[in-house]
Structure 1
């Protein structure tokens, strides 16, 4: 077998390796294992580590680390290399509780005025490195999630939320990005997915390729997709990810 190339393939999770908020297929898992024979593999997701592990290995963290040499949860605020944690940053120490309470109160007040076909629970999810805001609520079922996707496409619910947050907190040093299917990600500037690149840019890779589905302006993959340190690949679903990787590594 030819020696492995000094190349890193970094993958978004939702919409790239898996369908949104669903588990990876066995076929995709086997494909990633085969890719590791040709290049280094990493994942960078906006979700926290337990959610990433649930999607990629049924909750088995050790299996995720065996599958991916780099695991960057919450955009890299929680970072692993070879199964060892190498970094962790904290949102509370960055912003302070007084500001966070003001932000959460404003966000809940805004969402209380939004009329949707339905709402569920968990509208504001506080994570280690970001706040995830969902107008429908993250407790919705998959069918309810799909219904919201169609409604949001027609009515721009999340775009309106981004505008409201930008008007109120535009001078606070925060970024507001539409993420996944049902939510908006909120984090300090520089804490997007490019945050993860500091841990790999000096690792001796000839190229760092990033694959993501939310690469348009305003999407949570846009910054890393456009970053000069990466070669960006915009995908539409996991099967498209596989096709593009096969073409890149000449596996077909």
Structure 2
């Protein structure tokens, strides 16, 4: 019997950087009636608040919800009437400088410079540095067309891994590459979740759209969790409905 269902966010629960749609909020509320729920993704807390926390119906039991920004290097819980951080693991200034310089060098070397960008392309999330190829404010339509098969980002990822062998570099969302401390990936975050929740890994399952080698959801499968790969939020809705029916 599974006690916790963990989800990726962008491409799984919602379109890239978009709020949960009402049917997804209702589906998660149904799931929270029968299990703990975790969301682990590369975005920082403000993005989680916008996409998830503020989009759940009033009936949702958020005391059973575990929100894990920046690939699990931060954990937020709802206690005493508000969301607050349980922990946060941050880069130091020297590490940040090296990462930013490496991004510039990798992009120059690989030649993946889009004709147009929307907003900043690199975001410092404290415990994670994230590159968004088209910029943080790029429209969904443009993002979906830029690298649908991850091929462009695999080239950039390979270059960055040569420059930053001491760090973890994974693809996420529609156009992003996330850099964290070595060993920090969704497996790392899920182990942190195990320790914080006292729920064993074999009592968890994971649902995501990037459960393939090089995808930032794949570490959950390598960790040994039961996983469900979905194509989009519509597939996630179907998966949740089946899980709720089984757990009831």
Judge same fold: TM > 0.5, yes or no.
Answer: yes
1:109 and 1:30 map into 2 onto residues whose CA distance is: 44
Kindly tell me: are residues 135 and 197 of structure 1, through their superposed partners in 2, closer, same or farther at Cα, counting changes over 3 Å? closer
Question: Which of the residues 96, 101, 105 maps onto 1:100?
Answer: 96
TM-score normalised by structure 1 residue count: 0.82
Give, in angstroms, the shift of residue 13 of structure 1: 1.0
* CA drift at 1:219: 0.7
Give the C-alpha shift of residue 6 in structure 1. Answer: 6.1
- Alpha-carbon offset, residue 208 of structure 1: 0.5
Structure-2 residue corresponding to 1:89: 89
Deviations 1:88-141 (A, max 9, x none): 11122xxxx334323312312433543433234312111121111123222322
The residue aligned with 1:186 is: 179
Paired residues for 1:18-167 under 5 Å: 18-58=14-54, 66=62, 69-83=65-79, 84-92=84-92, 97-112=93-108, 113-149=111-147, 153=149, 156-167=151-162
CA RMSD between the two structures: 2.8
| CA–CA separation in structure 1 for the residues paired with 2:61 and 2:75 | 11
Residue-pair matches, total: 237
Q: Secondary structure at the match of 2:194?
A: coil
Higher gyration radius (CA): 1
Q: CA deviation at 1:204?
A: 4.1
Instruction: Work out which structure has the larger RCO, using CA pairs closer than 8 Å and 6 or more positions apart in sequence.
Output: 2
Native 8 Å contact 1:70 1:81 kept in 2: yes
In structure 2, relative to structure 1, the CA distance for the partners of 1:65 and 1:141 (3 Å cut) is: farther
Would you say the 8 A contact 1:75–1:194 is kept in 2? Answer: no
Q: CA deviation at 1:239?
A: 1.9
Alignment partners' CA distance in 1, 2:193 and 2:180:
21
Q: 1:119 to 1:64 in 2, by over 3 A?
A: farther
Q: Which blocks of at least 5 consecutive residues in structure 1 are unaligned?
A: none
Distance 1:243 1:105, change over 3 A: same
- In the other structure, the counterpart of 1:174 is 167
Gaps of 5+ in 2: none
* 1:53–1:64 contact (8 Å) kept in structure 2: no
